Amino acid sequence: MKGTTYDPKDLTVTVKGIYLTGFSESMAEFEKDEENWTAKVGAQGDVARSKVNNPLATLKITLLSTSPQVALLDKIATSGELVPISVIFNGSPKETLTITEAYLKKPATRTYSKEIEDREYEFQCLDAEMN
């Protein structure tokens, strides 16, 4: 097996076509809200599988409180606006995530202390295409 190199600079995230900058250590996390399949076992051991057609997912973006895009995301959270999002990892393996409609669940928690704090934003994704 050959060695590989991970570079966080290979990640780009756009919201409404605007590039996000000033990420914190935990940059982005995407997860479907439900499993794709469920199984049911009958009394005699018969198994049936059902497809779950729920398209909802959650995308968490963590920025430093000094990021220039904090004000933009707070405005989107307050307005309830539906926005498109693109997440592209150009490293190895290359991965893309395209969301045509998402909204912020709420504005980020604001913490003020002696150090720069994180601002975590949770997008509710109404659809997502993963490649």
pTM for the full model? Answer: 0.87
Two tokens, residue 23: 């990420």
Where are the domains positioned within the chain?
A: 12-32+56-115
- Say if residue 130's pLDDT is above 90: no
Instruction: Tell me what pLDDT residue 1 has.
Output: 62
Give me the DSSP letters along 85-105: EEEEE-SSS-EEEEEEEEEES
Q: Given this model, what pLDDT does residue 66 score? A: 94
Q: Which residues contact 104 (CB under 8 A, 6 or more apart)?
A: 73, 76, 77, 121, 122, 123, 124
Across all residues in the chain, what is the average pLDDT? 93
pLDDT digits (tens, 9 = 90+) for 85-111: 999 999 888 999 999 999 999 999 898
Confidence of residue 16 (pLDDT cuts 50, 70, 90): very high
Q: How far apart are the first and last CA of the chain?
A: 24
